[in-house]
Structure 1
Amino acid sequence: MKKLLLAAAFAASFTSVAQAADYVIDTQGAHAFIQFKVSHLGYSWLHGRFNTFSGDFSYDSANLAAAKIKLDIDTKSVDSNHAERDKHLRSADFLNVDKQPKASFVSTKVVPGADGKFDLVGNFTLNGVTKEITIAATKTGEGKDPWGGYRAGFHGTTSIKLSDFAIKNILGPASETVYLDLVVEGVRK
């Protein structure tokens, strides 16, 4: 009986490991987005996005705590639908893209929650400064696609304070916090 239980435990742990898969984020099909909003003087909202980014993740539905993600963002690709404002956002006043052309996020742990929700904790680097942030995330779904591939999708939100990332040109207290909305769909490698 002991041998049978040990064999079953071994098989279950092997099956869990076998289900882990690596995914590349589908930016070419525009099935992933990094969007932001920030208050403009407390009177309205400025919305924008980053048009160019890449990344990958490892995911196992049976072992969410082992998931990992790495994301690189081309800060020059900031797009707020206003050319002059985007030029200012790229300047040393904000994103400092000449010296810091890339932002990144590398997960360090996943804290599973209920109903497909989880906290994704990791190091976010912006303007040459790295800080730990937590992304409140939800699994959107997973399954086969019409082209013979397999996909998994997630949605996450977080906020950052500009002053934490050495960005000094803040238009008052209401404009210090940036809210990020991340939609990630990955194609299994």
Structure 2
Amino acid sequence: MKKLLLASALSAAMLAPAFYSADTHAADYVIDTQGAHAFIQFKVSHLGYSFVMGRFNDFSGEFSFDADKLEQGKVNVTIQTASVDSNHAERDKHLRGEDFLNVAKFPQASFKSTSINDLGNGKFVLNGDFTFNGVTKPLAIDAEIVGEGEDPWGGYRAGFTGTTEFKMKDYGVNMDLGPASANVELELVVEGIKQ
């Protein structure tokens, strides 16, 4: 579960030029899940021969953001793990069970940022605590600003992409599908609406 795909490339392109304007200031945003402008997608090798890909359909979160002071930003996301969707009903039923997501016992996963390393040129590392399957461990997300600016409905938006990777066994998932399938890649697309 590592990489999240950009769903609104057109809006991102429209917003990008305004992102680095000098009059930007810190603001709080709510992730736009209602408009389906945010995505949490995962990818896991299937025995080293192919990949299983999917997403979580139900999640929420917020972030604070200032383009000139990235290191002061904060992110908080909660995922409803039962919303896993790999486009295969029987596999999703298995993923929700004790072998993987264990949703009956741990219905939520979460990420709460602890620090941000600004790498320049809109790139940064988002560090935080990731809680999954009842286990909390530090996780770093390689992220990049897509853009920010006014939307056609009178609001103001900012968006990012991010990727990360973790070992399932680090979070108590002991289902062994072989070394090629040990890691989960996540890809994130986050678009927020200024509050």
- Normalising by structure 1, report the TM-score: 0.90
Contact residue 100 and residue 127 of structure 1 kept, 8 A: yes
For residues 1-189 of structure 1, the aligned pairs below 5 Å read: 19-189=25-195
Shift of 1:108: 0.1
Q: Deviations over 1:124-177 (max 9, x none)?
A: 000000010100000000000000000000000000100000000020001010
Contact residue 162 and residue 170 of structure 1 kept, 8 A: no
Which has the larger share of helix?
A: 1
SS at match of 1:19: coil
Shift of 1:81: 0.3
Q: Report the equivalent of 1:8.
A: none
Contact residue 94 and residue 169 of structure 1 kept, 8 A: yes
Q: Report the equivalent of 2:16.
A: none
Query: How many equivalent pairs are there?
Result: 173
Shift of 1:62: 1.4
CA distance in 2, matches of 1:124, 1:48: 19
CA distance in 2, matches of 1:19, 1:36: 32
Q: Deviations over 1:43-69 (max 9, x none)?
A: 001000000000000001111000000
Q: Deviations over 1:66-100 (max 9, x none)?
A: 00000000000000000000000000010000000
Q: Give the number of the structure whose alpha-carbon radius of gyration is greater.
A: 1
Q: Which has the higher contact order (CA 8 A, sep 6+)?
A: 2
Contact residue 36 and residue 179 of structure 1 kept, 8 A: yes
Which amino acid is the alignment partner of residue 141 of structure 1?
G
Q: Which runs of 4+ in 1 moved over 6 A?
A: none
SS at match of 2:120: coil
Percent identity of equivalent pairs:
63
The alignment yields a C-alpha RMSD, in angstroms, of 1.1
Unaligned runs of 5+ in 2: 1-21
CA distance in 2, matches of 1:170, 1:23: 39
Which amino acid is the alignment partner of residue 169 of structure 1?
M
